[in-house]
Amino acid sequence: MTPTPPATGPNPAPNAPPNYAMMGFLAATIAILGMTGVMATYVTPLPLERALAREVVLDQLLADNGANYAQLRPRLADSAEAVKPGPDLAARIAAERVAMRARLQAETDSTAGRLQLMLLVCSLGAMLFGAVGMGARRRRP
């Protein structure tokens, strides 16, 4: 009878019981990526939420012709200087809306780029983590 060569590949011992520790390890690797994606869903809408809140404040300022500017100033943030009470308030508010939307688009693009990079890095890290774990499993006697 000829000796059989040692088994190689992802499952070196086909009749061996399943390795639950390795399954848990790989599940954790995949879960890391999933949690990163979930975190991204919380970050993504923030620029839009800020812009919508600013729209509401600009509407309030326009409705009372700047009378409550002092109260609304903290909520106006970087729009406060552009919409100080004075002549042509409606035109300045309209111009600030356009500028605010441009800032929203720039912030959205920046956030999307950072999130894509974060997901890429986490995906590569999770794959490397899993590959190292699987390689350690194969090296065991």
pLDDT at residue 87 is higher than 60: yes
DSSP for 34-74, written as a single string: HHHHHHHHHHTTHHHHHHHHHHHHHHHHHHTTTTTHHHHHH
Q: Which residue has the tokens 């990079």?
A: 117
The tens digit of pLDDT for each residue in 114-136 reads 888 988 888 888 888 777 777 76
- Phi-psi map region of 119: left, alpha, beta (phi>0 left; psi -120 to 50 alpha): alpha
Global pTM value: 0.65
pLDDT at residue 2 is higher than 70: no
Domain residue limits, the chain: 43-113
